[in-house]
């Protein structure tokens, strides 16, 4: 239950018994904010509410946060051990080695150091190439160019903030690019500095940010603890400013962390104190819902010096009945990783983890070879008891001889040298193979260090560079993705804290603009301007050379914009004052003018030849058409004669058939006439005498 129980209708609800149909339009009243939500909103605006909390609650809050910190730190112990070991290796930490003999060789091969320097020397200049660091992407239609003008203002101002106003950002970026490949993970803390009244973005070592190894992300972690140190004068300053409450912290104690350089802190009254800034959840108002808080604890005494809200008033989400649904925790940290953990752990993996075993093997092999050479050069052995030189030690130097009252044969017989064959050739070959494998893992290819042929084709060089950088391309993509998230946090800070006066003062002469409107997140996306696929000067030069060769091609050359290509080449070569070098409207030289005149004359001559050829073609086509017409007429005449002959033949044949048919008709008529006459003669003969004629007729 809430401490101050909220009673009444939901905010904005109409009391019972009223009918909107008869009330007409009434002015809208502001929604009623429940007391428990108003209290949370007021806490979100305070820098420190620790002074208003009872001591027993502060003690309980500090103990709970400190216990969770210990649990989270223990969960990442294996990762932290490997990370500290890699830092010791790259830092050149020297240790005495007494095996196989006292003060034996203990050389550390600079494999990891070389790999880290190669990575940082490519990544850092690729991120910070010039003053244009931030790019703004506009979403939606841009009518009148207002969004474009707004995007340009935001780009210029944020680039100015990162490189000029936030003085720590450039230096911390350099340190981040060196530490990230070693331990595999690093963080940036972006927040509003009340003391300096400006944004601040500090690099935080992964060893100083404690998160449970099983946490899926920073946003989903139950607690995020930032370890940091403050000197006594800084502690007093925070108390005077009201950032911390006054506490009796005693003297600084000797640190337990091996990676902290604070030896002898117990004897120094001005030694720094270790503090823990815990971003955790705690039900401070006892309403059954844990709120996000930022609790700062003194590590040695576990005393709380600061309690601040880990949310903003806009992050409180409540239902219509006034119940709090959730409170979103603000995340000030941006995570940078080198390689993701294959096991799914929170912290990334770096070259220190990947090269840990092979580095130890290389160091052991190298030291064995050095020890074998030392034994072979120094010698050693046995001296018989019969040899008495009357001196404890005889030391030799070039040109020095010692006189002994002992026969030479006795000396030779009394001294027995130990046989030390020296370094093994097998170990030497094994060392070379191990170093080569380690270079492949670390990405230290010869082409990336500048060891290439001078006459190599640009396309071949570009292919070799891309192949050498293939395994790191994904790493650069992760870095730029994290940079984009960091820039978004800076945009949110500008939207909340940047005043129009500060913003327009930077614009200086441009049309006045609203900082809150320009930095609103509704319709724009902010990301780094650098290209993760082009991280070396050699790669950019090879691509520019490829485009230049393409511009000389007669088929594709006209499509290449030569002035734009020239500007890109000079910019990638980091040439200063390009505008002073480039002529805006270049005039051709006398040689170029003569060449152009010759080309123009050749073009005109070619056009004349083309016209002559076209006339000849027309003439030939006319002659060809006449010949084709005559041939056609001849063919038509022959066909007509053939048709006439065929008609004549047809007429003769038809006449013969007709005459034959007429003859046949005449024969039939004669036969018919004869038959009719015989019938008439029979009708004239008497009946009695009809027998003979009848027979005759028959």
pLDDT (tens digit, 9 = 90+) per residue, 430-469?
999 998 888 877 765 544 444 445 555 555 544 544 555 5
Say whether 282 sits in a helix, a strand or coil: strand
DSSP state of 541: H
| Across 95-99, 455-459, 497-501, least confident range | 455-459
Beta carbons within 8 Å of 294's beta carbon, 6+ residues apart: 277, 278, 279, 306, 307, 308, 309, 310
CA-based end-to-end distance of the chain: 150
Q: Decide: 316 and 148 in contact? Cβ < 8 Å.
A: no
| Across 238-247, 444-453, 502-511, least confident range | 444-453
- Cα 367 from chain centroid (whole Å): 40
Q: How many other C-beta atoms lie within 10 A of the C-beta of residue 567?
A: 15
Q: What is the pLDDT of residue 182?
A: 94
Beta carbons within 8 Å of 572's beta carbon, 6+ residues apart: 537, 540, 541, 544
| Across 173-177, 252-256, 293-297, 681-685, least confident range | 681-685
Q: What is the pLDDT of residue 369?
A: 92
Cα distance between residue 483 and residue 486, in whole Å: 5
DSSP state of 553: S
Say whether 18 sits in a helix, a strand or coil: coil
DSSP state of 163: I
| Across 121-125, 225-229, 549-553, least confident range | 549-553
Report the chain's mean pLDDT, rounded to a whole number. Answer: 79
Res. 91: pLDDT tops 70: yes
- Cα 185 from chain centroid (whole Å): 16
Q: What is the pLDDT of residue 574?
A: 62
Torsion over CA: 548, 554, 557, 562 (sign): positive
DSSP state of 162: I
Cα distance between residue 86 and residue 93, in whole Å: 10
Q: What is the pLDDT of residue 673?
A: 59
Overall average pLDDT of the 345-363 stretch: 92
Say whether 342 sits in a helix, a strand or coil: coil
Q: Are strands 134-138 and 316-318 parallel, antiparallel or unpaired?
A: unpaired
Considering 216-220, 540-544, 684-688, the range whose residues carry the highest mean pLDDT is: 216-220
Q: Which residue has the higher pLDDT, 394 or 36?
A: 36
Q: Which of 559, 550, 546, 494 is nearest to 521 (CA)?
A: 494
Task: Name the residue with tokens 């076209």.
Answer: 614
Residue 195 phi, psi dihedral angles, 5° rounding = -65, -45
Residue 330 phi, psi dihedral angles, 5° rounding = -75, 140
Task: Name the residue with tokens 């370094």.
Answer: 423
pLDDT (tens digit, 9 = 90+) per residue, 150-190?
888 998 999 999 999 999 999 999 999 999 999 999 999 99
Res. 237: pLDDT tops 60: yes
Q: Which residue has the higher pLDDT, 410 or 51?
A: 51
Q: What is the pLDDT of residue 442?
A: 74
pLDDT (tens digit, 9 = 90+) per residue, 528-552?
665 554 444 555 666 777 777 777 7
DSSP secondary structure of 231-275: -HHHHHHHHHTTSS------SPPPP--TT---TTGGG-TTPPEEE
Q: Identify the H or E element spanning 112.
A: helix 111-127
Structure tokens at 651: 């007429």
Structure tokens at 475: 């790493």
Whole-number Cα distances in Å, 488 to 158, 530, 557: 11, 16, 41
Overall average pLDDT of the 406-427 stretch: 84
Res. 652: pLDDT tops 70: no
Cα distance between residue 272 and residue 459, in whole Å: 56
Sort residue 570 into left (φ over 0), alpha (ψ -120 to 50) or beta: alpha
Q: Which of 448, 432, 348 is nearest to 86 (CA)?
A: 348
Per-residue HEC secondary structure of 371-418 comes to HHHHHHHHCCEEECCCCCCCCCCCCCCCCCCCCCCCCHHHHHHHEEEC
| Across 202-206, 269-273, 328-332, 627-631, least confident range | 627-631
């Amino acid at each position: 239950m809430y401490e101050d129980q909220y009673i009444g209708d939901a905010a904005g609800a109409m009391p019972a018994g009223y009918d909107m149909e008869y009330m007409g339009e009434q002015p809208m009243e502001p929604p009623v904010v429940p007391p428990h939500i108003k209290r949370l909103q007021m806490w979100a605006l305070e820098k420190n509410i620790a002074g208003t909390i009872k001591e027993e609650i502060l003690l309980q809050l500090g103990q709970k946060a400190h216990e969770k910190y210990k649990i989270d730190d223990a969960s990442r112990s294996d990762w932290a051990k490997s990370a500290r070991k890699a830092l010791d290796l790259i830092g050149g930490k020297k240790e005495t080695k007494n095996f196989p003999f006292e003060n034996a060789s203990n050389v550390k091969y600079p494999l990891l150091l070389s790999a880290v320097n190669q990575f940082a020397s490519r990544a850092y200049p690729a991120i910070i190439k010039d003053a244009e660091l931030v790019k703004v992407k506009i979403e939606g239609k841009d009518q009148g160019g207002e969004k474009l003008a707004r995007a340009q203002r935001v780009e210029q101002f944020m680039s100015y903030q990162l490189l000029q106003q936030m003085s720590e950002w450039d230096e911390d970026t350099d340190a981040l690019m060196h530490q990230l490949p070693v331990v595999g993970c690093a963080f940036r803390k972006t927040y509003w500095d009340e003391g300096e009244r400006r944004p601040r973005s500090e690099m935080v070592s992964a060893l100083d940010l404690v998160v449970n190894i099983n946490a899926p992300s920073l946003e989903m972690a139950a607690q995020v603890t930032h370890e940091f140190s403050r000197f006594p004068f800084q502690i007093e300053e925070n108390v005077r400013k009201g950032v911390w409450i006054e506490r009796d912290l005693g003297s600084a104690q000797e640190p337990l962390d091996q990676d902290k350089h604070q030896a002898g802190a117990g004897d120094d009254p001005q030694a720094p104190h270790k503090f823990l800034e815990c971003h955790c959840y705690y039900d401070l108002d006892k309403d059954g819902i844990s709120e996000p808080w930022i609790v700062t604890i003194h590590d040695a005494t576990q005393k709380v010096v600061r309690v601040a809200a880990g949310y903003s008033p806009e992050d409180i989400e409540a239902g219509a009945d006034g119940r709090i649904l959730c409170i979103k925790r603000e995340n000030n940290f941006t995570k940078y990783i080198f390689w993701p953990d294959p096991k799914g752990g929170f912290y990334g993996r770096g070259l220190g983890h990947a090269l840990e075993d092979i580095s130890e093997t290389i160091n052991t092999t190298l030291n064995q070879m050095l020890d074998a050479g030392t034994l072979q050069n120094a010698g050693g052995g046995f001296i018989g008891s019969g040899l008495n030189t009357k001196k404890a030690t005889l030391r030799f130097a070039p040109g020095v001889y010692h006189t002994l009252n002992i026969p030479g044969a006795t000396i030779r017989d009394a001294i027995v040298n130990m046989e030390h064959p020296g370094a093994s050739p097998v170990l030497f070959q094994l060392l070379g193979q191990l170093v080569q494998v380690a270079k492949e893992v670390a990405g230290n290819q010869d082409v990336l260090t500048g060891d290439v042929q001078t006459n190599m084709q640009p396309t071949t060089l570009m292919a070799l560079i891309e192949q050498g950088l293939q395994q790191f391309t994904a790493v650069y993509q992760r870095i730029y993705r994290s940079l984009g998230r960091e820039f978004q946090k800076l945009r949110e800070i500008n939207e909340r804290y940047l005043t129009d006066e500060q913003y327009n003062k930077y614009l200086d002469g441009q049309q006045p603009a609203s900082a809150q409107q320009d930095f609103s997140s509704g319709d724009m996306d902010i990301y780094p301007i650098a290209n993760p696929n082009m991280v070396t000067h050699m790669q950019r030069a090879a691509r520019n050379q490829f485009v230049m060769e393409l511009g000389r091609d007669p088929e594709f050359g006209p499509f290449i914009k030569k002035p734009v290509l020239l500007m890109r080449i000079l910019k990638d070569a980091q040439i200063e004052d390009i505008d002073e070098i480039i002529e805006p409207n270049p005039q051709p030289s006398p040689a170029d003018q003569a060449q152009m005149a010759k080309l123009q004359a050749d073009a005109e001559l070619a056009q004349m030849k083309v016209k002559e050829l076209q006339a000849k073609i027309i003439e030939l086509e006319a002659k060809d058409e006449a010949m084709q017409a005559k041939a056609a007429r001849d063919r038509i005449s022959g066909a007509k004669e053939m048709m006439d002959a065929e008609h004549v033949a047809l007429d003769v044949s038809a006449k013969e058939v007709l005459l034959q048919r007429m003859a046949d008709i005449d024969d039939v008529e004669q036969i018919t006439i004869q038959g009719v006459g015989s019938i008439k003669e029979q009708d004239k003969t008497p009946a009695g005498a009809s027998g003979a004629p009848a027979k005759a007729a028959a």
